[in-house]
Amino acid sequence: MVLKYVHEYRDGDLAKGLIEVIKENLSSARFRSINKQDAKLRLMEVCGTHTMSIFRHGIRSVLPDNIELLSGPGCPVCVTAQQDIDAFVDLAMIKDVILTTFGDLIKVPGTFSSLQKEKASGKDIRIIYSVFDCLEIAAANPDKEVVFCGVGFETTTPTVAASILMAAERGIENFSVHSAHKLTPPALSALMETQGVDIDGFILPGHVSVITGINGYRDVFEKYRVPSVIAGFEPVDILKAILILAKQNISGIPKLENGYERAVSEEGNPKARHIMNQVFEPDDSVWRGIGKIPQSGMKLKDIYSKFNALEKFGIELKQRPEPAGCACGQILMGLKTPQQCVMYGKRCTPADPVGPCMVSSEGSCAAYYRYKGC
């Protein structure tokens, strides 16, 4: 079966043609990027799904040597701070609590334990596929408290908001959320303000952009003038984005462009944003490896405080250091590659991870390990 908007974006001949055009544009040993005179064009794919697609399709291996792809802070599990992981574990240990989570989060090591270890010890921790499953679990277990681990970006936050609105409408009071949700544009600003970060272009996330629209990035783009393009997730999508960014750097004219027109519009999804903003409001948030970014998280509004798991159970977030020797934070900012972490493939493996970048299906360390750096 041929899937429209998928098959044609995996067309081998079209991909080969794009690769040749990219090589032609960057055939010179040196070129002037917008931000510096350098032999390397450093492009960051912000989304973890882009990272996995790049590795899965071997895109790194076919690009010219003067293009370097960096994995950014677009893996929601990877950027979740140690203090939030520990809070999830603390919640799971409370008597009569059913903790619900998406699968990637369960193996992330906390400071003293992990959800996987607590599940093995008998705690009621359940992997779900939709936050709405939590409401049915709560309705079926009125004598238990059901807590959802809220991790994700603008893509998933509206559905969590909708579940809270539904719980309120149905009178389900034994359901709550610990929100570690994040907003993407403030993270891009934080990257550009970080010393040592060297980025010539952003491949912006497709899923997030369906919600935010291209307009969601305008303030960041106008401030930093970094070439930026929203991309889909198929090989042709990604190669097209790389070509656009290369041309912008060569011309010296930065632009904010939409390369995912079949899914992303200027305004995005106003209804989803309305639901999200009805329940949540921006707040300062700690990102793994980056630190506290102002107004980059989403907390429950006071009117929905009865669904706030930390308030309901009296749990305070405690600042925690990241695992000693783990370079996950630096990898998320493009300051290191996974192979430059002293633990990669030795102390830290998918079977026995130290940091979340090796755990998540969208983590850059997991991608490097699985595809051997291709």
Question: ∠174-179-183 over CA atoms, to 5°?
Answer: 150
Contact 359, 348 (CB under 8 A): no
The label of the residue with tokens 């709560």 reads 138
Tell me the domains of the chain and their CATH numbers. 8-73+192-258 (3.40.50.11750), 77-183+268-313 (3.40.50.11740), 328-371 (no CATH)
CA dist list (Å): 98 to 125, 330, 349: 6, 34, 29
- At residue 26 the predicted structure's pLDDT band, cuts being 50, 70 and 90, is confident
CB burial of 296-307 (b: ≥16 within 10 Å; e: otherwise) equals bbbbbbeebeeb
Contact 330, 336 (CB under 8 A): yes
Rounded distance, CA 261 to CA 263, Å? Answer: 5
Show the tokens assigned to 93.
């240990």
| SS3 of residue 15 by DSSP | helix
Count the neighbouring beta carbons within 10 Å of the beta carbon of residue 69. 21
Residue 292 has pLDDT above 90, yes or no: yes
Where residue 200 falls (left for φ over 0; alpha for ψ -120 to 50; beta otherwise) is alpha
Residue % of the chain over a pLDDT of 90 = 83
Q: Which of 99-103, 199-203, 350-354 has the lowest mean pLDDT?
A: 350-354
Average pLDDT (200-208) is: 97
pLDDT of amino acid 372: 77
Within its chain, how far is the Cα of 253 from the centroid?
28
Residue 263 has pLDDT above 50, yes or no: yes
pLDDT in tens, 86-108: 999 999 999 999 999 998 899 99
Rounded distance, CA 358 to CA 332, Å? Answer: 12
What's the whole-model pTM score?
0.92
Counting other chains too, the contacts that 29-36 makes at CB distance below 8 Å and 24 or more residues apart are 29/66, 31/66, 31/249, 31/250, 32/249, 32/250, 32/252, 33/200, 33/249, 34/200, 34/225, 34/226, 34/227, 34/248, 34/249, 34/252, 34/254, 35/198, 35/200, 35/226, 36/198, 36/200
| SS3 of residue 179 by DSSP | strand
pLDDT of amino acid 9: 81
CA dist list (Å): 95 to 54, 98, 109, 122, 129: 43, 9, 21, 11, 24
pLDDT in tens, 34-82: 555 557 899 999 999 999 999 999 999 999 989 999 999 999 999 999 9
pLDDT of amino acid 298: 98
Contact 66, 26 (CB under 8 A): yes
pLDDT in tens, 50-60: 999 999 999 99
Contact 365, 328 (CB under 8 A): yes
| Mean predicted lDDT score pLDDT of the chain | 92
Q: Which of 17-31, 264-278, 323-337 has the lowest mean pLDDT?
A: 17-31
Rounded distance, CA 354 to CA 29, Å? Answer: 39
pLDDT of amino acid 1: 44
Residues near 75 by Cβ (< 8 Å), separated by ≥ 6? 48, 51, 332, 356, 357, 360, 362, 363, 364
pLDDT of amino acid 5: 65
pLDDT in tens, 120-154: 999 999 999 999 999 999 999 999 999 999 999 99
pLDDT of amino acid 40: 85
- At residue 28 the predicted structure's pLDDT band, cuts being 50, 70 and 90, is low
pLDDT of amino acid 29: 43
